Amino acid sequence: MVGELLHEIMRVIDLPAFDFEHDPTARRLSTFIADGIYDGFVAFDGEQAVGFATVYQSHSLYGNGAYGTIPELYVRPEHRSRGIGNQLLTTLIANARERGWSMLEVTTPPLPGFDRTLAFYERSGFAITGGRKLKIQLQPMVGG
């Protein structure tokens, strides 16, 4: 589903913003979870995985120390508007409270293509607090 998420973003923004390969990404996820630096949650409809969300601990002075960052939250298109995203977000918030984090932070994909994503987070209590997320690639992306 990570690949589905990244390909959907790239299709909507019409830019090759991500280099995704399944196997290296799956290995990276397994390592992150085993090392305790990443939590992942999967939503199922029966036995079919229909959505997922991930979170990791960040630190900042403005965040009063430790807080959570949500790098990925995705629900397959045919399962959207059924409360699955809300269930995943509720799970992330509960996880954050258990960890004693001061807040959760998320960055939406670029607008206006993802206005519905922004509205989803705002309905869930998130507020816009700053500008755009920027990045600089320091090493070539190889394998995901």
Q: Which CATH class is domain 2-123?
A: alpha beta
pLDDT digits (tens, 9 = 90+) for 35-90: 999 999 999 999 999 999 999 999 999 888 999 999 999 999 999 999 999 999 99
For the chain, give every domain's residue range.
2-123
| Residues near 85 by beta carbon (within 8 Å), at least 6 away in sequence | 51, 73, 75, 120
Q: Whole-number mean pLDDT of the chain?
A: 92
Helix (H) or strand (E) holding 108: none
